[in-house]
A and B are shown apart, each in its own frame.
Chain A
Amino acid sequence: MNSNEKESLPALGFITVVKSRELGIMGGYLLLNRNGRPVEFHCTAPVRATKSQHILYGPTLEPYIYGEQIARSLTVRATISPKLILTDKSGVMALRPMTNIPMALAEIPKLRKDAKVKDKAEESQNTLSVENGVNEQTSASGQPESDSAALASQADVSEEIEALKGKIVPKFDDSIVIPEHSMIWNGVLLHPDRHFPDDTEKARQFLQNEEIDYDLAEPFDRIREAIYEAQKSAA
Chain B
Amino acid sequence: MLDNSVLPKISPVRLSQFGEKMNRVVRRGMHIKALTPFSLTIPEPMTASIKIGRPKILVKSFIFGESKTLCNEAKIKGEEGDKLNNASPFNGTASRPTHFTHLQVPVELVKLEDRLKHLLQPPLEQLFSSKELVFPFEPFPYQWQGIGFLYPRSSAILADEMGLGKTMQSITTIRLMIRSGAVKSVLLVCPKPLVTNWKREFDLWAPEIPVEIIEGDQARRKWIWELDNTPVKIANYELLHRDRELYSPREKEFVDENGKVQKFTPPGIKFDLCVLDEAQRIKNQTGSTHKAVKAIHRKRSWALTGTPIENSANDLVSIFEWLSPGYLSPEMKPSQMGRAIGDHILRRTKDKVLTDMPPRLVRDLELEMSPSQREAYMNAEENGVEQINEMGETATIQHVLQLITKLKQICNFDPVTGDSPKMARLAADMEEIAASGQKAIVFSLWTDTIDRMRPMLEQFHPLEYSGRIPHSKRDDVIKRFREDPKHKMILMTYGAGSVGLNLQFCNYVFLFDRWWNPAIEDQAINRAHRIGVKGSVTVSRFLLMGTIEERIQRVLEEKRELFETVLSGADSTRKNEMSKKEIFGLFNFKFAS
Q: Are A215 and B120 in contact (CB under 8 A)?
A: no
In the complex the two chains form, what is the Cα distance from A213 to B116 in whole Å? 23
Interchain CB contact under 8 A, A233 and B59: no
Check B63 for interface membership: any CB of A closer than 8 A: yes
Binds B, one of A36-44, A81-89, A119-127: A36-44
Q: Do B60 and A218 touch across chains, with their CB atoms under 8 A apart?
A: no
Q: Are B55 and A65 in contact (CB under 8 A)?
A: yes
A53 to B51, CA, bound (A): 9
Do the beta carbons of B94 and A187 come within 8 Å of each other? yes
In the bound assembly, the distance between CA atoms of A168 and B64 in angstroms comes to 30
B58 pairs with A45, CB closer than 8 A: yes
Find B61's partner among A40, A187, A211 (CB 8 Å cutoff).
A40
Given A172-B92, A172-B95, decide whether A222 and B63 contact each other with a Cβ distance below 8 A.
no
Q: Is B98 an interface residue (CB 8 A)?
A: yes
Cβ contact within 8 Å between A47 and B120? no
Which chain A residue shows the least CB distance to B105?
A229
CB distance from B343 to the nearest CB of A (A): 15
Q: Is B186 an interface residue (CB 8 A)?
A: no
Residues of B within 8 A of A35 (CB): 69, 73, 122, 130, 132
A41 with B96: CB separation less than 8 A: no
B119 engages A69 (CB within 8 Å): no
> Which secondary structure dominates where chain B touches chain A?
loop
Find chain A residues with CB under 8 A from B216 CB: none
Which single member of B55, B59, B95, B100 contacts A218 (CB below 8 Å)? Answer: B100
With a cutoff of 8 Å between Cβ atoms, the chain B residues found around residue A69 in the complex are: 54-55, 57
B residues in contact with A74, CB < 8 Å: 59
| CB-contact partner of A41 in B58, B66, B100, B116, under 8 A | B116
Q: Is the CB of B98 within 8 A of A168?
A: yes
Alpha-carbon gap, A215 to B121, bound state (A): 13
CB closest residue in chain A, given B126: A214
Residues on A with C-beta less than 8 A from B116 are 41, 226, 229-230
User: Which residues in window 155-200 of A have CB below 8 A to B?
Assistant: 168-169, 171-172, 174, 176, 178, 184-188
Residue A79 lies at the interface, judged by CB distance under 8 Å to chain B = yes
Inter-chain contacts of A229 with B (CB < 8 A): 105, 112, 115-116, 119
Please provide the chain B residues from 80 to 102 with a CB less than 8 Å away from any CB of chain A in the complex. 89-90, 92-100, 102
Q: Is the CB of A44 within 8 A of B57?
A: yes
Q: Is the CB of B89 within 8 A of A185?
A: yes
B50 at the interface (CB under 8 A from A): yes
| A33 close to B (CB within 8 Å) | yes
A68-102 near B? 1/0 per residue, CB < 8 Å = 01100110011100000000000000000000000
Residues of A within 8 A of B122 (CB): 32, 35-37, 214, 218, 222
Report whether B98 and A213 are in contact in the complex, using a CB–CB cutoff of 8 Å: no
Mark each residue of chain B from 510 to 529: 1 if its CB lies under 8 Å from any CB of chain A, else 0: 00000000000000000000
Taken together as a complex, chains A and B put the C-alpha atoms of A43 and B120 apart, in Å, by 13
CA distance A33 to B121 in the complex (A): 11
Q: Check A48/B66 contact, CB under 8 A, given A176-B92, A225-B119.
A: no
- Given the contacts A38-B120, A74-B59, A222-B119, A188 and B96 also touching, CB distance less than 8 Å: yes
A215 CA to B398 CA, complexed, in Å = 63
Minimum Cβ distance to chain B for residue A8 (Å): 16
Q: Provided the pairs A36-B126, A215-B126, A218-B100 are in contact, do residues A77 and B61 lie with their beta carbons within 8 angstroms?
A: yes
**Smallest CB–CB gap between B144 and chain A, Å?**
14
23 pairs of residues in contact across A and B, judged by CB atoms under 8 Å: A35-B122, A41-B116, A41-B120, A43-B59, A44-B59, A50-B53, A53-B53, A53-B55, A70-B57, A169-B97, A172-B92, A174-B93, A176-B92, A186-B94, A215-B96, A215-B123, A218-B100, A222-B102, A222-B119, A225-B119, A226-B119, A230-B60, A230-B112
The chain A residues found within 8 Å of chain B, CB to CB, are: 30, 32-33, 35-45, 47-50, 52-53, 56-57, 65, 69-70, 73-74, 77-79, 108, 168-169, 171-172, 174, 176, 178, 184-188, 207, 211-215, 217-218, 221-222, 225-226, 229-230, 233
Beyond contacts A45-B58, A45-B59: 13 other A-B pairs, Cβ-Cβ < 8 A, are A38-B64, A40-B62, A41-B61, A44-B59, A45-B60, A50-B55, A73-B57, A186-B89, A188-B96, A215-B126, A222-B120, A229-B115, A230-B112
Q: What 6 pairs between A and B have smallest CB-CB spacing?
A: A73-B57, A45-B58, A38-B120, A36-B122, A171-B95, A37-B69
